[in-house]
Structure 1
Amino acid sequence: MKIVIAALAFASAVPALAADPIVDAPAGKVSGTSDAGLRVFKGIPYAMPPVGAKRWTAPVAQPRWTGTHRATDFGPACVQPQAPNATVYSGVPMPVSEDCLTLNIWTPAKAKNAPVMVWIHGGALVTGSSREPMYDGRKLAARGIVVVSINYRLGVLGWLAHPWLSGETPRRVSGNYGLLDQIAALRWVRDNIAAFGGNAGNVTIAGESAGGLSTLYLMTTPAAHGLFARVIAQSAYMISMPELRKAAFGMPAWESGGALLTTALKTPDLAGLRAMDAQTLTDTAAKLGFAPFGVVDGAVLPQQMVDAFDQRRQAPVPVLAGFNQGEIRSLRMLSPKPPADAATYATEIRARYRDLADPFLQQYPAATYRESILATTRDALYGWTAERLVRKQVELGKPAYLYMFDHGYPAMDEADLHAFHASELPYVFGTLAATPPRWPKIPDTAAERTLSAAMLDYWTSFVRDGRPVATGSAAWPAYETKRSYMHFAAVPEAGRDLLPGMFALNEQVMCRRRATGTIGWNWNVGLAAPVMPPAVAACE
């Protein structure tokens, strides 16, 4: 996908058209557009542009602007690598810029004190944008909620840690700039959303993939606590995290990794790094293998996510969480190459998993080893995370709802992409006809529209009052002690005990690896797993 680079010029002094809705918010006057009973505002800046000397600094609140800001067009996406290889996720070319910290709002025309959903896009913290057509918030807002979608810094511009950068800050930390952007956007919502008809005390943060990961970061950073009342985490992953100044769980100290990157870039100092062209820097860093992660810095992210949840330090809020049956069908680069035959698979698993080999092979059998490989990575990243999240919130006495999306249709299944990663999104947003060009085309049938309507109902009702309810569809029981969940296949259907044995096995693997301090838990599973550490009392 060719990405067009463009700067954003805020037309704050351009007069609004007579029919445009105008809001006078604390941030300034904003004019938008009207759309079938909704007011829509696009490309509103929530922080100052992080460019030049402000690159790799915490976002700074935008002062109140003068005149009326025309919020009729999406802002550019944040700078991200150009993508020559077409995938199912590749969209149309979009403008990108470092001046990208904007948000969009869809609100019912007569909204007052309405519940709010803040959407955080996915893309591995590398790609994506709030302007993607599949994230259009009209159908959700038409059900009576205010929808906000945000941009945040990506890749090396959003997640670089480096001694040079740490030395500039009072707490001597760096990295996590994209997360700081998300927190700044939530603060903007807190301070301004009432002017758009929203209730700042009834905000749900929601995201998918890296957006789901971001909701977990926000649950564990003290800086975000109090800024949201509920969480929707779709295909999130509670994997091991790098730490700022020490090697941990198979990853180097993140400052050291940043220093290696700048050496490879041949930049002598921070001024030179900040002077580099943003697109060139982003593309080069990606080619050199830079992978963005939230970093445990003792400040923004005080500890590993699993530790925060185990110690009950996460935000004590209701959650709705789940994953897709075919997550890895579109992400096969995350799973190891299948072996020649089932016998080789079983032999490898026994060598790697040792005393856990029998429960592993029961869960992921050799007889169907190709499917087992996909399921192994799916569960280690997404299935285990979703169930762990709801379990931990239940321990806090908070309502928690679990789901698995297992829906297919002809074009999807013919492409061997049944319920692939992110395939629930057009159903959640009601954007069945707005998928990317290479996405398997969703048929325009009553069955697909009915499923989407049900998911729109469940999601908006959870945003409204913390209970997912859909008119004319199955009741969604809370997870609680019965381990209930919702199965989205042809129609929503409630069930109990999702994938028996899955959670216990993956929790044991994580626990043993965490006890070593040197082995991470992510996609290094199955045929890619290191030899299993021995059992320890802390994991029993």
Structure 2
Amino acid sequence: MVATTDITTADGAVRGLWGKRVSRWRSIPFAAPPVGELRFRAPQPVQPWTGVRDATHFGFAAMQHRRGAQIGPRQQQPTGEDCLTLNVTAPNKPAATARPVMVFIHGGGYLLGTSALRLYSGSRLALLGDVIVVSVNYRLGAFGYVDFSEYSTPAHRFDNNLGLRDQVAALEWVRDNIAAFGGDPGNVTIFGESAGAHAVLALMATPAAAGLFHRAISQSPPADWGPSQADAALFARRCVEQLGAGAGDGAQALLTATPNRIRSAVDHAVSAVMRDQPGLFPVAPQVDGDYLPLPIIDAFAGGSAHRVPLIIGTNRDEGTLFSRFDDTLPTTPERMRRLLRQVGGDAETRVLGAYPGFPKPRVAVRAGGDFTFWRPSVEVMSGHSRYAPTYAYRYDFAPRALQLAGFGATHALDLIPVFGATATPFGRALSAAGGQRAFNSVSEQFQRNWLSFARTGAPLAAWPAYTEDERATMIIDSPQRVEFDPERAKRLAWQGIRVPALA
């Protein structure tokens, strides 16, 4: 018989799984299902329920290609529009005071991913740090990050920035309910990786999120993603054209087409943009002058981002994963040159001169990863350090098997040590050729710094704050070290370069 535990939230009671050391509640709704008349609308309040709601299993992942909702070797989570749920993991041991809360936002390019991935439960993090871990679903792709507001009618409004609004609604749920699970609503850290890291920065630049979190961790953010109003409208028109609808019947098509038909149309439109304009990603929070008033980098540079402590960093070899499995980044010599020519000016000469050996493929891969993740992260850490405590890192460690395979410290590898999964079967497999002890040590570095930050607003004492004068950067490796202004020549070469506008 499965042991369960009940908690009463503001919307009703939920029944979770009682484990030996932690309890888990799965797929608790934080907003009404965005279906029917609520498709393409801002999240609406949950309808309270009577009795006890089952929260022992996962519901739907957000609409996406089925490969993105894979949660096991042969297991895929069903997808659907009714996806606005979150999960809570809490230690069973009684606590004298309310526990810090860590809210994780998954990545996947705003097109893929699910909070149901076993890694994201955060059990090891919760136990090591005596914290509450929350993982969040939000609308993806067509349903979360395409601005169809131009197709609004008197009978039906289409809202924008839906995925970002979902994340704000989830944080409001945490504020109103996490105390029932033993968490402290006055000590909330948001953290995420890749698109989830971008979401962390977007939330910091979103006025509606003020006061809902108190610290932030951004792991490998493509920080200057975010179409302008004009680009968002142009891309939405291309998506409607892919649906086979004209300007006059766009609203009807968006409301009546099947979810998979809409998803497929937007996926095709995304692929066309990334094929023609390397480095540009059109599916992201829109800079609308209202809900997201400014481009993210501008918000940090000008001090309008929420002035909470921030950890931000990237992996040394971000681009290698994409060069093997995904052609979305400018990780070939030809795509990098095309990108820099679209930027214009002396960008091509200046940047490629900072990468000796270009156009060797491995050098192009490094440049493509740096362009997408490191370049804009440096701008964020520089801007934010003027107004709030900021801590920069670079993740360098890779087990020997990944080094031999040419991946190195690639994109998303940091998730394994952050969630303490180096000793799982998958973590051990990565260390089969050697490096298990070092991988475990790196995991401990990661977790203890992240947990110290969640509890106090600062990592451990060996990690100095980032300033524009010194640019102290923690190199997470075995052993760890601090470098000052690492890769300075490359940083200066990228300075001022942004993602081009949609053509």
Query: Deviations along 1:306-327, whole A, 9 cap, x unmatched?
Result: 2222221111111001001110
- The residue that corresponds to 1:96 in the other structure is 79
The answer to whether 1:81 aligns with 2:65 is yes
1:140-155 alignment runs, 5 A limit: 140-142=125-127, 143-155=129-141
Cα distance in 1 for residues equivalent to 2:207 and 2:343: 38
What amino acid is aligned across from residue 498 of structure 1 in structure 2? P
Contact 2:395 2:476 in 1 (8 A): yes
Question: How do residues 407-426 of structure 1 correspond to structure 2 at under 5 angstroms?
Answer: 407-426=397-416
Say if 1:367 and 1:104 are closer, same or farther in 2 by CA, change over 3 A: closer
Task: Kindly indicate whether residue 11 of structure 2 is the aligned counterpart of residue 27 of structure 1.
Answer: yes
For residues 450 and 486 of structure 1, the distance between their equivalents in structure 2, rounded to whole angstroms, comes to 15
SS of aligned partner of 2:89: strand
User: Match for residue 333 of structure 2?
Assistant: 338
Identify the match of residue 389 of structure 1 among 380, 392, 405. 380
How far apart, in 1, do the equivalents of 2:49 and 2:342 lie? 64
Of 115-124 and 451-460, deviating more is 451-460
With 198-207 and 268-277 compared, the bigger mean Cα shift is at: 268-277
Cα distance, 1:376–1:91 mapped onto 2, change above 3 Å? farther
Match of 1:7 in 2: none
| Structure 2 counterparts to residues 149-188 of structure 1, below 5 A | 149-167=135-153, 174-188=159-173
Which amino acid in the other structure matches residue 135 of structure 1? Y
Q: How does 1:233-252 map to 2 (within 5 A)?
A: 233-239=218-224, 241-244=226-229, 246=230, 252=231
Which residue of the other structure, out of 449, 452, 455, is the alignment partner of 1:458? 449
In structure 2, the residue matched to 1:496 is 484
Whole-angstrom distance in 1 between the partners of 2:115 and 2:26 = 10
Cα distance change of structure 1 residues 491 and 322 upon mapping to structure 2, 3 Å threshold: same
CA distance in 2, matches of 1:309, 1:316: 9
2-structure distance, mates of 1:168, 1:427: 51
Instruction: Label 1:169 to 1:256 Cα distance change in 2 as closer, same or farther (>3 A).
Output: farther
Distance 1:328 1:130 in 2: 24
- Aligned residue for 2:31? 47
Offset from partner CA, 1:148-180 (integer Å, 9 cap, x none): 00000011111222245445699x873211111
Opposite residue 161 of structure 2, the aligned amino acid is: N
Confirm or deny that 1:477 pairs with 2:464.
yes
Residue type at the aligned position of 1:279: N
Distance 1:256 1:372 in 2: 34
Larger RCO: Structure 1 or Structure 2 (Cα < 8 Å, ≥ 6 residues apart)? 1
Aligned residue in 2 for 1:202: 187
Amino acid at match of 1:27: D
Aligned to 2:259: 278
SS in 1 for 2:7: strand
Residues 416 and 40 (structure 1), Cα distance of their counterparts in 2 relative to 1, 3 Å cut? same
Number of corresponding residues: 479
Identity of aligned residues (%): 33
Deviation at 1:370, TM superposition (A): 2.9
Change (3 A) 1:435 1:155: farther
Which string of whole-angstrom CA distances, capped at 9 and with x for unpartnered residues, describes residues 80-121 of structure 1?
A: 02349x99x998422111111110111122244211111000
Distance 2:63 2:448 in 1: 34
Gaps (5+ residues) in structure 1?
1-16, 247-251, 340-344, 514-518, 522-529, 531-540
Cα separation, 2, equivalents of 1:185 and 1:297: 21
Aligned equivalents of 1:458, 1:312: Cα separation in 2: 25
Q: CA deviation at 1:276?
A: 1.8
Structure 1 position 234, deviation (Å):
0.5
Matched, 1:227 2:215: no
C-alpha distance 181-371 of structure 1, shift in aligned 2 (>3 A): same
Write the letter of the residue equivalent to 2:465. A
Greater mean alpha carbon deviation, residues 486-495 or residues 183-192? 486-495
| 2: CA distance, partners of 1:492 / 1:79 | 40
**CA apart distance, 1:297:** 1.6
- Once the two structures are TM-superposed, the CA of residue 212 in structure 1 deviates from its matched residue by 0.7
1:501 and 1:166, CA in 2 relative to 1: closer, same or farther beyond 3 A? Answer: farther
Q: Deviations over 1:430-483 (max 9, x none)?
A: 12356879x9734483322222122111111111111112xxxx8211113321
- Aligned-partner residue type, residue 237 of structure 2: A
The question of whether the paired residues in 2 share the 8 Å contact of 1:133 and 1:435 is answered with: no
TM-score for both structures, normalised by structure 2: 0.86
The yes-or-no answer on 1:441 pairing with 2:422 is: no
Amino acid at match of 1:128: G
1:66 to 36, 41, 50: 50
What letter matches 1:419 in structure 2? A
- 1:70 Cα shift? 1.9
Instruction: From the superposition, tell whether residues 154 and 240 of structure 1 become closer, same or farther in structure 2 (CA, over 3 Å).
Output: closer
Determine the C-alpha separation between the residues in 1 that align with 2:298 and 2:154: 29
TM-score w.r.t. length of structure 1 = 0.81
Q: Work out which of the residue numbers 259, 264, 268 in structure 1 matches 2:237.
A: 259
Q: 1:310 aligns with which of 284, 301, 304?
A: 301
Change (3 A) 1:462 1:238: same
Structure 1: how far apart are the matches of 2:342 and 2:168?
45
Q: Which residue of 2 aligns with 1:249?
A: none
Determine if contact 1:236/1:386 at 8 Å carries over to the other structure: yes
> Structure 1's 165 and 178: CA in aligned 2 closer, same or farther, altered over 3 A?
farther
Q: Which residue of 2 aligns with 1:320?
A: 311
State how far apart, in whole Å, the 2-side matches of 1:182 and 1:69 are: 22
The answer on whether the counterparts of 1:79 and 1:97 sit within 8 Å (CA) in structure 2 is yes
Partner of 2:270: 289
